[in-house]
């Protein structure tokens, strides 16, 4: 894989840069997608467990699954792709990260300018009061966990059949609409409304760069498609960016 001079020039520190990440970058840290045939858990599919109805019907079962997931994620570490994105936040004064992942690895890598548009598994929300708290117990002390008010706590994530948080969505539309460069990593962005982000940025004149292990449905839309692992491509890209603009800031 070669990184063109034109590509490096697009990553000028003066640019407004937005990074959009999906399951692909987490998979490189050993986190399964929890979907498809390999995602079966006790004969259940994710679509049967990650719904408001499933939680209302059997909150203990749903929490047993999430407790199992949290155990797997707790053993994972941010990979070089995560680290490179965290470093980009330090290089570009106008930077934002939007992730579809709920594992919290971007925060552990060091990103703070971040929208976790599908939520975070390490946050729990009271179904009565709506308050959100962090919880890193693995395994959980009680299943299902409860709030001090006595109501159930649920994972602070977006389930099937639920809408995205209005504030997170509004912020995402805002940064996408204003960005000069959109870097799409580990996602083909086929799930709405995130699927609209690359097209929206393109229409506003942003330069689009894709990093994925294989071509995706948005490959024909982007200006540069970099085929490879995020943990290999992003550190190489970052190194060239730092070399090209060292001493010019």
pLDDT given for residue 47 in this prediction: 76
The neighbour count for residue 78, using CB atoms within 10 Å, is 23
pLDDT given for residue 35 in this prediction: 62
CATH architecture under which domain 37-75+127-157 falls: 2-Layer Sandwich (3.30)
pLDDT given for residue 38 in this prediction: 56
Q: How far apart are CA 93 and CA 121, in angstroms?
A: 29
Coil vs helix vs strand at 211 = strand
pLDDT given for residue 46 in this prediction: 78
pLDDT given for residue 61 in this prediction: 95
Burial of 232 (0-12, 13-18, 19+ CB in 10 A): middle
pLDDT given for residue 33 in this prediction: 74
Burial of 129 (0-12, 13-18, 19+ CB in 10 A): exposed
Active site residues: 118
Please state the domain extents for the chain: 5-31+78-118+163-245, 37-75+127-157
pLDDT given for residue 72 in this prediction: 94
Strands of the 181-185 sheet, one edge to the other? 114-116, 95-99, 17-21, 181-185, 207-212, 224-227
The total number of residues written for the chain in this structure: 249
Annotation: CATH topology of 5-31+78-118+163-245: Rossmann fold (3.40.50)
pLDDT in 10s for each residue of the chain, 249 residues: 678 888 999 999 999 999 999 999 999 999 987 665 555 577 777 778 999 999 999 999 999 999 999 999 999 999 999 999 999 999 999 999 999 999 999 999 999 999 999 999 999 999 999 999 999 999 999 999 999 999 999 999 999 999 999 999 999 999 999 999 999 999 977 788 999 999 999 999 999 999 999 999 999 999 999 999 999 999 999 999 999 887 554
């Amino acid at each position: 894989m070669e990184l063109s001079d034109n590509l490096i020039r697009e990553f000028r520190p003066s640019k407004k840069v937005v990074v959009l990440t999906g399951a692909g970058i987490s998979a490189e840290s050993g986190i399964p997608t929890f979907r498809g045939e390999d995602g079966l858990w006790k004969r259940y599919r994710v679509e049967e467990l990650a719904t408001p109805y499933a939680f209302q019907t059997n909150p203990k079962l749903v929490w047993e699954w999430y407790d199992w997931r949290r155990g797997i994620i707790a053993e994972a570490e941010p990979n070089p792709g995560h680290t490179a994105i965290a470093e980009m936040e330090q290089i570009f004064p106008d930077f934002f990260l939007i992730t579809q992942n709920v594992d919290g690895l971007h925060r552990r890598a060091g990103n703070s300018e971040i929208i976790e548009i599908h939520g975070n598994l390490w946050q729990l929300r009271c179904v009565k009061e709506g308050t959100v708290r962090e919880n890193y117990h693995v395994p959980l002390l009680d299943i299902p966990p409860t709030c001090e008010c006595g109501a159930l706590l649920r994972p602070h994530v977006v389930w099937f059949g639920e809408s995205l948080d209005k504030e997170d969505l509004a912020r995402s539309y805002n940064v996408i609409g204003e960005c000069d460069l959109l870097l799409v990593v580990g996602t083909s962005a086929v799930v709405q409304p995130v699927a609209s982000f690359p097209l929206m940025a393109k229409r506003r004149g942003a330069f689009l760069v894709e990093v994925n292990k294989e071509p995706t449905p948005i490959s024909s839309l982007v200006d540069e498609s970099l085929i490879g692992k995020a943990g290999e491509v992003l550190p190489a890209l970052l190194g060239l960016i730092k070399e090209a603009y060292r001493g010019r800031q």
